[in-house]
């Protein structure tokens, strides 16, 4: 009898344990639903009032209650794309260096450096940009481009102040490099060693192995990394606020100042809540960011799931 009681007690405890853990699972689902539902609920007035025209209206005029996101979407995509143009070759080089060329005894140390880069908070990147990148652009780069490339449309220097799309892009590029580089490294590490060794035994150089064996095997993983890097760059806020210049114009040159969605939200959201439609328009901008991040991450995870089996690299959790 006593034994039966003991068994029952254990079973109750086990059931209780499972029950409590499943409450936690509901907590996770609840958090996800909360963020999506709050953004949808509070952006609904703007969505229903402006419709799809919100996306291509250029004017953003709170006193007249005219709201259009085109300027900010353009700024966001310019910063993201220029940042990726810097980040992709750089991080492919880093991934290839760490996995294929780097001497064995330095590999761990070098990998830690790239992981540290991922952990540096974005506000510190912003400060570094303001005090290092901006003066460098203003003193060295912009006068050079003004003197030699002033007739090329995208490289025209309009105002020589250092702040602008390029400054923001460079810093954002350094923030996405660790993500793409570490995923590239993981994807290259997933190439079976025996195929690489086979190619080497046939007399191929390292470069041949990378070009003809490793990259064809792992290019999907690298795409996945680039997609995740894109998602990170689109939502980057604090460093961009400090560097982009915060002018609501569509920049005509990479040296021009501009505005991104996240920068606008960071600067004006707390003033916007006095007027319901103004606040709602800002939340609709957040909805655009949320949708981009969800779609991009969904695609990126699916790609990576197939290649490196959903293994998460540390750099994806990087600091704010």
Partner 1 sequence: MTEKENNKKAEDAGNYFPVNKSYIKRKKIYNRIAYASAAFAFTIGAFPVFHIIYSALIIGYKYLNWSFVSTLPSGFPIGAKGGILNAIIGDLYLVIIASCLAVPLGIGSGLYLSLFGKKRTNSIIRLLNELMIGIPSVVWGIMGFYIFSTNAGLGFHFGFSALAAGLTLGFIMTPIVTLLTEQAVNRIPASYIEGALAIGATKWQATKSVIVKAAMGGIFTAVLLGVLNIIGQTAPLLFTNYYNTGMPTGITGPGGAVGDMAMLIFIYIHEPSRILHYKAEAASVVLLFFVFALDIGMRLISWITVKIFEML
From 46, 78, 83, 114, residue interacting with partner 1 (rule: CB under 8 A): 114
Give the single-character DSSP code of 278.
H
Residue 316: enclosing H or E segment and its boundaries?
none
Selected from 55, 66, 124, 152, the binder of partner 1 by CB under 8 A is 124
Chain-centre distance of CA 270, in angstroms? 24
Q: Give the Cα-Cα-Cα angle 19, 23, 24 (nearest 5 degrees).
A: 120
Q: For the residues of 124-167, what is the DSSP string, one character each?
A: HHHHHIIIIIHHHIIIIIHHHHHHHSTTSGGG--SS-SS-SHHH
**Shorter beta-carbon distance to partner 1: residue 75 or 126:** 126
- The stretch among 48-56, 67-75, 154-162, 263-271 that binds partner 1 (CB under 8 A) is 263-271
8 binds partner 1 (CB under 8 A): no
- Is residue 226 within 8 A of residue 296, CB to CB? The reply is no
Q: Measured between alpha carbons, how far is 224 from 167 in angstroms, rounded to an integer?
A: 26
Q: How far is the CB of 127 from partner 1 (least distance, A)?
A: 5
Does residue 80 bind partner 1 (CB under 8 A)?
Answer: no
Instruction: Pick one of 238, 257, 303, 308: the residue that binds partner 1 (CB under 8 A).
Output: 238
CB of 232 to partner 1, least distance (A): 8
> Using CB under 8 A, which of the segments 21-29, 54-62, 64-72, 159-167 binds partner 1?
21-29
Binder among 71, 218, 237, 253 for partner 1 (CB under 8 A): 237
- From the list 6, 190, 10, 215, the residue with the least C-alpha distance to 92 is 215
277-306 residues in contact with partner 1 (CB under 8 A) are 282-283, 286, 289-290, 293-294, 296-298, 301
Residue placing its CB nearer to partner 1 in the complex, 247 or 297? 297
Sole binder of partner 1 in the list 67, 68, 80, 122 (CB under 8 A) = 122
- Look up residue 237 and give its two tokens: 């806020």
> Are 172 and 240 a contacting pair, CB within 8 Å?
yes
Distance CA 44, CA 56 (A): 18
Q: Is residue 119 involved in binding partner 1 (CB under 8 A)?
A: yes
Q: Which range in 65-73, 140-148, 172-180, 214-222 contacts partner 1 by CB under 8 A?
A: 172-180
CA 42 to CA 283: how far, in whole Å? 6
């Amino acid at each position: 009898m006593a034994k039966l009681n003991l068994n029952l007690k254990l079973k109750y405890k086990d059931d209780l344990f499972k029950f409590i853990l499943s409450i936690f699972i509901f907590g996770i689902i609840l958090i996800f639903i909360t963020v999506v539902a709050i953004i949808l609920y509070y952006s609904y007035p703007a969505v229903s009032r402006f419709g799809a025209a919100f996306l291509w209206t250029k004017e953003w005029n709170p006193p007249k209650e005219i709201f259009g996101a085109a300027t900010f979407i353009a700024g966001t995509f310019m910063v993201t794309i220029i940042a990726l143009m810097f980040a992709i070759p750089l991080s492919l080089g880093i991934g290839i260096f760490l996995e294929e060329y780097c001497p064995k005894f330095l590999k761990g140390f070098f990998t830690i450096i790239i992981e540290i880069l991922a952990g540096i908070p974005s506000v510190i990147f912003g400060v570094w940009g303001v005090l290092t990148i901006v003066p460098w652009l203003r003193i060295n780069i912009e006068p050079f481009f003004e003197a030699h490339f002033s007739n090329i449309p995208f490289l025209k220097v309009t105002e020589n102040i250092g702040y602008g799309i390029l400054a923001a892009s460079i810093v954002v590029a350094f923030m996405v490099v660790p993500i793409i580089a570490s995923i590239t490294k993981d994807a290259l590490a997933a190439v079976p060693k025996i195929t690489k060794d086979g190619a080497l035994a046939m007399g191929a150089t390292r470069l041949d192995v990378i070009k003809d064996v490793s990259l064809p095997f792992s290019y999907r993983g690298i795409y996945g990394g680039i997609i995740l890097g894109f998602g990170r760059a689109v939502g980057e806020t604090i460093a961009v606020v400090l560097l982009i210049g915060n002018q609501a114009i569509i920049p005509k040159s990479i040296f021009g100042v501009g505005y991104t969605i996240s920068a606008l939200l960071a600067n004006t959201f707390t003033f916007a809540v006095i007027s319901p439609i103004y606040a709602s328009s800002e939340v609709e901008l957040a909805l655009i960011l949320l949708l981009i991040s969800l779609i991009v991450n969904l695609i990126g995870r699916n790609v990576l799931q197939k290649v490196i089996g959903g293994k998460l690299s540390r750099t994806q959790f990087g600091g704010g």
